[in-house]
Structure 1
Amino acid sequence: MKKFTVLLLLFSATSAALAEPPSIRFNGFGSASVGMSKATVERALSQKLEQPPESHDIECEYFEATKGLSGVLFMFVQGKLVRIDVEKGKTQTETGIRIGDPMSKIKKAYPTRLTITAHQYIPAPQGKYVTVKSPDGKNAIRFEIDNGRVVAFYSGRFPEVEYVERCL
Structure 2
Amino acid sequence: MMTFSVSYAKAPQYLLSKDGFSGVKIGMSKQALDEGHPHLKYSDEVTPGCLEVEDDAGVTIMIEEGYVTRVQVNEPHYLTDKNIHVGSTEQEVVAAYGKAALKENAKYDENGHFFFVIDAQSKKGISFETDGKKVTSMYAGKLPSLQYVEGCL
User: TM (normalized to structure 1)?
Assistant: 0.75
Amino acid in structure 2 at the alignment position of 1:40: A
Tell me, yes or no, if the aligned pair for 1:49 and 1:64 is still in contact at 8 Å. no
Structure 1 stretches of 4+ moved >6 Å: none
What is the SS of the residue equivalent to 1:49?
Answer: coil
| Deviation of the 1:30 alpha carbon | 1.7
- Unpaired runs of 5+ residues, structure 2, are 1-8
Q: Is residue 134 of structure 2 the alignment partner of residue 108 of structure 1?
A: no
1:59 pairs with one of 16, 30, 49: 49
What is the SS of the residue equivalent to 1:100?
Answer: coil
1:138 pairs with one of 123, 126, 149: 123
How far apart, in 2, do the equivalents of 1:157 and 1:163 lie?
11
Larger RCO (CA under 8 A, 6+ residues apart): 2
Q: Which moved more, 1:75-84 or 1:139-148?
A: 139-148
Tell me, yes or no, if the aligned pair for 2:74 and 2:138 is still in contact at 8 Å. yes
How far apart, in 1, do the equivalents of 2:10 and 2:57 lie?
20
- Percent same amino acid among aligned pairs? 27
- Unpaired runs of 5+ residues, structure 1, are 1-16
- 1:10-159 to 2 correspondence within 5 Å? 20-44=12-36, 48-52=39-43, 55-57=44-46, 58-65=48-55, 70-123=57-110, 126-134=111-119, 136=121, 138-159=123-144
User: TM (normalized to structure 2)?
Assistant: 0.81
Whichever of the two has the greater Rg, that structure is 1
Q: Which moved more, 1:105-114 or 1:72-81?
A: 105-114
Flag the structure with higher helix content: 1
Aligned residue pairs total: 144
